[in-house]
Amino acid sequence: MALAPLPAGTRVKKYGVFAYVFAGSATGLSGSYDAETQASWIFTGNSSTNFGRSAVAGHLDTDDDSDLAIGATEDGSYYGGAVYLWLGPVS
């Protein structure tokens, strides 16, 4: 299963931040989706870190599997942040 580019749809909720990932193909996705019921994967972070503020899917290492990186712009020190990386294959 390939990871599609993430839609403009990482969503912030009052008690946490969620990054919704939809499985797709090389041509992407079409139509509209209900993230909470149709997402292939849901990643949950801490709202104080801005988890999910940025995300990218693609080939981030030397294998041919899709990988996922989700940013948390305020995780760490005052000038810091973090990137959470999941190396494929994702299932």
- Tell me, what's the pLDDT at 7? 47
Q: How far apart are CA 66 and CA 79, in angstroms?
A: 30
Cβ within 8 Å of residue 20, ≥6 positions away: 9, 10, 11, 35, 36, 39, 41, 42
Predicted confidence band of residue 66 (pLDDT cuts 50, 70, 90): confident
- Tell me, what's the pLDDT at 42? 85
> Alpha carbon of 34 to those of 2, 22, 37, 47, 64: distances in Å?
19, 10, 6, 21, 29
